[in-house]
Structure 1
Amino acid sequence: MRIDEEIRTLVVDDDFRVARIHAAFVERTEGFALAGVTHGAEQAFEAIDELRPDLVLMDVHLPDGDGVGVVRDLAHSAERPDFIIITAAREVRTVRAAMQAGALHYLVKPFGYQTLREKLMAYRDLRTRMTEPAREADQAEVDALFGLLRGAALPGEAAKGPSAPTLELVRNAVRAARGDVSAAEVAEEVGVSRPTAQRYLSHLARHGVVRLQLKYGATGRPEHRYTLSDGAAK
C-alpha cells in the first residue's frame, strides 16, 4: 500500500442504524474510504470476494451466522482482509475466539467516533510500517508494532490512550535530532504542546524506545533530555 492510498473498509453489522453510523465514521476519517456495508455473514463473504476491502469492521452476532466464524473461515485466504471486531458481546470466550481467529482488535459497543478514529489511525500507521517486508525490526520495533492498536494509556490519557501516529512523529523527532533533544524542541518539531510532547516522551522512555538523560545547568535544576535508545536507533 502506498502511503497516499485510501484504506478501503467494509462495515458488517446486523443493525442497519448502527451500520450507517459506523459507515459515516469511516467516511469521516482521513486515509479511509467506505468500500460497502453489509448486514449478514453470507453478505459479508460475498462483499469481501467482490469488493476486496483492506479492512473489515465485523460484528459478531449476525442473523445468519457468526462474525468471528467469518474471520476464522477466511484465515487462509490469499486475499484475506484485516479484521477489527466491533460488537456488544463482552464475554471473555468471545474475545478469545476473536483473537484466535486472527482479528487485530476488539471494540465493545457503544463507542463514539473518536474511539474508532484512534483505532483506524493506529491501523493505518501499522499497515504503512508493515509495507517494508525486507526491513529488519529490533525488539523495540517489534514491541511498538504489536502495541500500536492497543494504545497503552499515557498519564492523563487513560480514557483514550496515545495516538500511534503522534507517537511515531515524536519518535522520529528524537531520531532526527543531532544529539539529545528536549520536550520543548520535540513539541516545536511535531506541532504539539510541550506537556503533550513530555507525556509521549515519558511513554517512549518507559518502553525503552528513548533514553532519558538529566543535564544540570547553572540553576542546579536538571533538564530532561532525550536520545533514541541504542536498539531503536537501528
Structure 2
Amino acid sequence: MNVLILDDDYRVAMIHEAYVKRYIPHATCEVFYQVEAFLHHVQRSERTYDLLLLDLFLPHTHGFHMIQQLRETHPETDIIVITAANDQASILEAKRWGVLDYMTKPVSEERLKESFQWFVEWKAKVKHKQQWTQSFIDEIFHFNVQSTREAASLPKGIQEETLAIILKNIEMQKIPQTASEVAASVDLSRSTGRRYLEYLVEEERLAVDLDYQSIGRPRRVYVMREQKEQKGK
C-alpha cells in the first residue's frame, strides 16, 4: 500500500509516518514537507497511491488546493486530513472534497490507529466485494470510523489487522494455500489460521478449493475469490 504524507512540520510528519508503518501492513511512505516538492512529484509520478495524509495549513497555499491538484493526476487516492483547523468551514469543505476522515491536532495514537485500521479493512472489502448491497453502499457514503466499526463488528477472536495481513499474504503468493501454510507464514497456530480463513470465506473475500495433486485425501486450499473466478472463465 502506497501512502503520501504532506505536512510542513517534519516532526509531525515523522510521527505520522511511524504510525502508518506500524498500523498499515506493508505500507510504503513518501513524506513531503514542501508544497513545491509534493506537486512536482505527484504530477510526474505514474505510481498509484492509496492514501494521502494531509495538513490543511501549508506555506503560501491551502490543503484544499493540494487536493484539487492531486485529483487531476491521481483521482484514485483517498485522503485523510490531519490538521489544527477545527472551524466549521474547513470541516464542511473537506467533506465536499470527499475526504475519508478528518482529525484535529494533536491526534492521539489510538485515534490514528483506529482510522488506519478501518482504512485497511475498507480497502480490502471494496476490492473483494462481490455484491454491492444497499448496506454496503451506505458504509461508503456515510463514512464514520466509530459507527462503521461498530456496525461491522468482528466475531470474538478475530482481529482486523490479522485479517489484513492474511489477505495480503495470500494475494502475494498468487497460488492456493492450505491453512497450515497460511498460519505458518503469518506466525499463527493452524487452528487460529483456519478460523480466520473460514471467516474470510464467509465474507466472500476468499474461496475454497480442493487440491487433488497430493497423495492421499485432497487438501483444502484457500485462494482470493477473484483469482478463482478468473481461472474459471
**TM-score, with normalisation over the residues of structure 1?**
0.59
Instruction: Identify if the C-alpha distance between structure 1 residues 32 and 103 changes in structure 2 by more than 3 Å, giving closer, same or farther.
Output: farther
Deviation at residue 102 of structure 1 after TM alignment: 2.2
Preserved CA contact (<8 Å) 2:8 2:58: yes
Q: 1:36 aligns with which of 30, 33, 37?
A: 30
What is the CA–CA distance in structure 1 between the aligned matches of 2:97 and 2:24, rounded to whole Å?
Answer: 28
Deviation at 1:40, TM superposition (A): 2.7
Per-residue CA deviations over 1:152-176 (Å, capped at 9, x if unaligned) read: 2xxxxxxxx9478xx3533xxxxxx
Other structure's SS at 2:127 match: coil
Q: Which amino acid aligns with 1:169?
A: L
Question: How far does the alpha carbon of each residue in 1:123-159 deviate from its partner, in whole angstroms, 9 at most, with x for none?
Answer: 11111111147x332222222344554312xxxxxxx
Partner of 2:195: none
Q: 1:53 to 1:138 in 2, by over 3 A?
A: closer
- State the secondary structure of the residue aligned to 2:145: coil
Distance 1:112 1:40, change over 3 A: same
The residue type paired with residue 21 of structure 2 is E
Q: 1:139 is matched with which residue?
A: 134
The answer as to whether partners of 2:118 and 2:149 remain within 8 angstroms in 1 is no
Structure-1 separation of matches of 2:150 and 2:133: 22
Name the structure 2 match of 1:84.
80
Distance 1:163 1:29, change over 3 A: farther
Contact 1:58/1:67 (CA < 8 Å) preserved in 2? Answer: yes
Picking from 55, 62, 66, the partner of 2:58 is: 62
Partner of 2:18: 24
Local SS of the residue matching 1:151 = helix
CA distance in structure 1 between the aligned counterparts of 2:104 and 2:29, rounded to whole angstroms: 22
| Matching residue's letter, 1:140 | S
Superposed CA RMSD in Å reads 2.8
Corresponding position of 1:150: 145
Deviation at 1:117, TM superposition (A): 1.2
| Contact residue 7 and residue 33 of structure 2 kept, 8 A | yes
Gaps of 5+ in 2: 160-202, 204-233
Q: Tell me if 1:13 matches 2:7.
A: yes
1:39-118 superposed matches below 5 A: 39-48=33-42, 49-50=44-45, 52-78=48-74, 80-118=76-114
Task: Label 1:83 to 1:139 Cα distance change in 2 as closer, same or farther (>3 A).
Answer: same
- What TM-score, normalized by structure 2, do the two folds share? 0.59
What is the CA deviation profile of residues 176-224 of structure 1, one whole-angstrom value per residue up to 9, with x for unaligned ones? xxxxxxxxxxx3x648xxxxxxxxxxxxxxxxxxxxxxxxxxxxxxxxx
One-letter amino acid matched to 1:136: Q
The 1:110–1:40 alpha-carbon spacing in structure 2 relative to 1, beyond 3 Å, is same
Bigger helix share = 2
Q: Which amino acid aligns with 1:34?
A: T
The one-letter amino acid paired with 1:130 is: V
| Residues 84, 105 of structure 1: 8 Å contact kept | yes
In the alignment, the residues of structure 2 paired with residue 85 and residue 16 of structure 1 have an alpha-carbon distance, to the nearest angstrom, of 16
